[in-house]
C-alpha cells in the first residue's frame, strides 16, 4: 500500500482490516519525514517517541473493535496549537522553548479518538505572513518546487500533506492561512465558520478572525477531520452552540439546480490570467454537473485588505502584549523593568511581527482610532451585508483562492505591501465569519497548482464539502516529486 495515495477512509479500512498496524503506519510516515523533510522543512518538531506510544494505544482500541474514524491515524499539527508536554513555538524565538502544560480543545478531541501525532508543523511567526518564510526556524519549501514558498501561515501543514509526510493536518486561518497554502501546495484546506471549532489552546493572533481547520488531500478527508474537532466548548466563549452534523452527509448528492455565484471583482486585473482561466473552467464544469452560474458583484473588495490589516493588527498588538519576558517565553536582559521588557520583545519577535504590532498600536492610538480602526469595523458590516445580498440569490460563491500561484522564495518578503495585497481573495471570508474551502482546479505552465475557493453560508460546511467533492471526483491531481 502506497500510503501517500490513500484517503483517510482507506487508511481507516486498512487499519480495521489488519492490512497494516497503527505502529507500522506511524513508522512509515516517520520514515518518510526522516527521508524527505530535510528538503521540505515542513516540521519544527517531530514526535517520534510519542507517535510510537500513541500507535500502541490505538492498536488496542482497534483490536477491541472500539476504533473511531481517526483511531491510529497519524496527523500533523500546526505549531501554534498547544500540545501538553510537547514544544509549541509559534515559529518564534519568543516561544522557542515553550512547553504548554495543557492541550488545546482540538487536541483533546483528537486524543479522544486515539489519533497519532507525527509532529508540529512550521508556520509564519505567530501566524503573521503568507509564505512561511517569517518563521524563526524551519522555513518551509513548496513540494512542487522547493525554490518557491508553500504559502502561509499554515505552510508547514500544507506542505507536509502535499509531500506525503502526513495524510492530513490541522492549521489555523486568520485571513486565508489555511486556504492560500493549500492552493499553493495543491491540497484541500477548509476554513470553518467562526465559532465552529474551539480556539481554546490556539495561541492568538487576531481573536475575532482566527479559526482552526483541516488540511487534507480531499474535501471528504477535511470533513472527517472537522467531524472530530467541531463543537461547542465551555472554555471558549466564542465557540458556537450549533449542533455538530455529519459534514460529509451530503457527499454524492447531486448539485443540479445549485446556484454558484462568481463575484466579478475577484477576476480583475490583479488576478493572473492562468488563474482566471483555471477557475472559470472549473465553473463551466459545475455547469455541466447541473449547477447554475450567477454573476454578481462585491464592491467593497477593494477596501477589504486595508480593513483586514487594521483589524488584525489591532488585535495582534493587544494579544501579543502578554509576551513581556516575565510570565513565560524569552526573557531579555536589562538593569530596569522597562529595559528587560524592551530587550525581550526586541530579541523575541521577528520583523513581520514587530511591523504588525506597530500597525495595530498606531490604529488604536488616540487621534487615529476613529480615522482607521472604527472605519475598518464599519467596512466589516458592509462586507457582511454584501455577502448576505449574494446569498439571497446563490447557494455558494466561487472565487480564486489566490491571485497567483506560489511565488519564488525571497520575491515578496522585502515588499510587505505586495505580500499583504496577495490576501485579496481570502480576507473577506474571515471578516464575515464565513466558511470556505480551497481545492486544486488546475496547474500553470510551470506545473504549479492553482486553487479555487468555495465560500458558503454560515455553518453550512456540509454544502461546501458536497460541492467540492462533486468537482474533485472528475479532477486529476498532478503529483509532485515527493509523491510521484
71-94 pLDDT, tens per residue? 999 999 999 999 999 999 999 999
Q: Grid coordinates standing for 105?
A: 480543545
Average pLDDT over residues 321-350: 93
Query: How confident is the model at residue 413, as a pLDDT?
Result: 72
Query: How confident is the model at residue 421, as a pLDDT?
Result: 87
Structure pTM? Answer: 0.97
Coil vs helix vs strand at 408: strand
Q: Give the number of C-alpha atoms closer than 13 A to the C-alpha of residue 355, restricted to the C-beta side.
A: 14
Mean pLDDT score across all residues of the chain: 96
Q: Note whether residue 312 is domain-resident.
A: no
Query: How confident is the model at residue 249, as a pLDDT?
Result: 98
Q: Grid coordinates standing for 398?
A: 466561487
Q: Is 433 a catalytic residue?
A: no
Q: Grid coordinates standing for 269?
A: 486585473
Q: Note whether residue 87 is domain-resident.
A: yes
Query: How confident is the model at residue 365, as a pLDDT?
Result: 93
Instruction: Tell me 126's DSSP state.
Output: G
Nearest to 108 by CA among 149, 154, 77: 77
- Alpha-carbon torsion (77, 81, 86, 87), positive or negative: positive
Instruction: Tell me 136's DSSP state.
Output: S
Helix crossing, 105-113 with 219-229: angle to 10°?
Answer: 100
How many domains does one find in the chain? 1
Q: Note whether residue 331 is domain-resident.
A: no
| Domain with 49 in it | 3-256+457-472
Q: Note whether residue 112 is domain-resident.
A: yes
Q: Which of 78, 109, 120, 139 is catalytic?
A: 78
Q: Note whether residue 301 is domain-resident.
A: no
Nearest-angstrom CA–CA distance, 267 and 352: 29
Report CA-CA distances (Å) from 181 to 142, 299, 321, 345. Answer: 9, 26, 28, 28
Q: Which of 21, 122, 131, 177 is catalytic?
A: 177
Q: Note whether residue 360 is domain-resident.
A: no
Query: How confident is the model at residue 456, as a pLDDT?
Result: 98
Report CA-CA distances (Å) from 157 to 8, 113, 126, 309. Answer: 16, 20, 15, 23
Q: Are 110 and 75 in contact (CB under 8 A)?
A: yes
CATH number at 232 reads: 3.90.1300.10
Q: Is the pLDDT of residue 414 over 80?
A: no
Q: Note whether residue 394 is domain-resident.
A: no
Q: Which of 42, 122, 131, 153 is catalytic?
A: 153
Q: Is the pLDDT of residue 434 over 90?
A: yes
Q: Note whether residue 147 is domain-resident.
A: yes
Q: Is 66 a catalytic residue?
A: no
Q: Is 177 a catalytic residue?
A: yes
pLDDT digits (tens, 9 = 90+) for 194-252: 999 999 999 999 999 999 999 999 999 999 999 999 999 999 999 999 999 999 999 99
Q: Are 177 and 432 in contact (CB under 8 A)?
A: no
Amino acid at each position: 500500500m502506497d500510503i501517500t495515495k490513500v484517503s483517510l477512509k482507506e487508511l481507516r479500512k486498512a487499519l480495521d482490516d489488519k492490512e497494516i498496524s497503527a505502529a507500522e503506519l506511524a513508522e512509515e510516515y516517520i520514515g518518510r519525514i526522516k527521508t524527505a523533510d530535510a528538503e521540505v522543512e515542513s516540521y519544527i518538531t517531530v514526535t517520534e517517541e510519542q507517535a510510537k506510544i500513541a500507535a500502541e494505544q490505538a492498536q488496542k482500541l482497534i483490536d477491541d473493535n472500539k476504533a473511531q474514524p481517526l483511531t491510529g491515524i497519524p496527523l500533523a499539527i500546526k505549531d501554534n496549537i498547544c500540545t501538553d508536554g510537547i514544544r509549541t513555538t509559534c515559529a518564534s524565538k519568543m516561544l522557542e522553548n515553550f512547553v504548554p502544560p495543557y492541550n488545546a480543545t482540538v487536541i483533546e478531541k483528537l486524543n479522544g479518538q486515539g489519533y497519532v501525532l507525527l509532529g508540529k508543523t512550521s508556520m509564519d511567526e505567530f501566524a503573521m505572513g503568507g509564505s512561511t518564510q517569517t518563521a524563526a526556524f524551519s522555513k518551509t519549501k513548496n513540494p512542487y518546487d522547493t525554490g518557491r514558498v508553500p504559502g502561509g501561515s499554515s505552510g508547514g501543514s500544507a506542505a507536509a500533506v502535499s509531500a506525503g509526510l502526513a495524510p492530513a493536518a490541522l492549521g489555523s486561518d486568520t485571513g486565508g492561512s489555511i486556504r492560500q497554502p493549500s492552493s499553493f501546495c495543491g491540497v484541500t484546506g477548509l476554513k470553518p465558520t467562526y465559532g465552529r471549532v474551539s480556539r481554546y489552546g490556539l495561541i492568538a493572533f487576531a481573536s475575532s478572525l482566527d479559526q482552526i481547520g483541516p488540511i487534507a488531500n480531499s474535501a471528504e478527508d477535511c470533513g472527517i477531520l472537522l467531524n472530530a474537532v467541531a463543537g461547542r466548548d465551555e472554555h471558549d466563549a466564542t465557540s458556537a452552540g450549533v449542533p455538530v452534523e455529519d459534514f460529509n452527509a451530503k457527499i454524492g448528492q447531486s448539485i443540479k439546480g445549485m446556484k454558484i455565484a462568481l463575484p466579478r471583482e475577484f477576476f480583475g486585473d490583479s488576478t493572473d490570467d492562468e488563474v482566471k482561466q483555471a477557475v472559470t473552467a472549473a465553473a463551466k464544469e459545475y455547469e455541466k454537473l447541473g449547477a447554475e452560474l450567477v454573476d454578481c458583484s462585491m464592491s467593497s473588495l477593494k477596501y477589504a485588505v486595508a480593513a483586514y490589516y487594521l483589524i488584525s493588527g489591532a488585535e495582534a498588538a493587544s494579544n501579543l502584549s502578554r509576551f513581556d519576558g516575565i510570565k513565560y517565553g524569552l526573557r531579555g536582559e536589562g538593569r530596569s523593568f522597562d529595559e528587560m521588557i524592551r530587550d525581550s520583545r526586541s530579541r523575541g519577535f521577528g520583523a513581520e511581527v514587530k511591523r504588525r504590532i506597530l500597525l495595530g498600536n498606531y490604529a488604536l492610538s488616540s487621534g487615529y482610532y476613529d480615522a482607521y480602526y472604527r472605519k475598518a469595523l464599519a467596512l466589516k458590516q458592509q462586507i457582511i451585508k454584501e455577502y448576505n445580498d449574494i446569498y439571497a440569490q446563490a447557494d455558494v460563491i466561487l472565487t480564486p483562492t489566490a491571485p497567483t500561484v506560489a511565488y519564488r522564495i525571497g520575491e515578496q518578503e522585502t515588499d510587505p505591501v505586495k505580500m499583504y495585497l496577495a490576501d485579496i481573495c481570502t480576507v473577506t471570508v474571515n471578516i464575515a465569519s464565513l466558511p470556505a474551502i480551497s481545492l486544486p482546479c488546475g496547474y500553470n505552465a510551470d506545473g504549479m497548482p492553482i486553487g479555487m475557493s468555495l465560500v458558503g453560508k454560515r455553518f453550512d460546511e456540509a454544502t461546501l464539502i458536497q460541492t467540492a467533492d462533486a468537482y474533485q471526483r472528475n479532477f486529476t491531481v498532478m503529483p509532485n516529486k515527493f509523491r510521484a
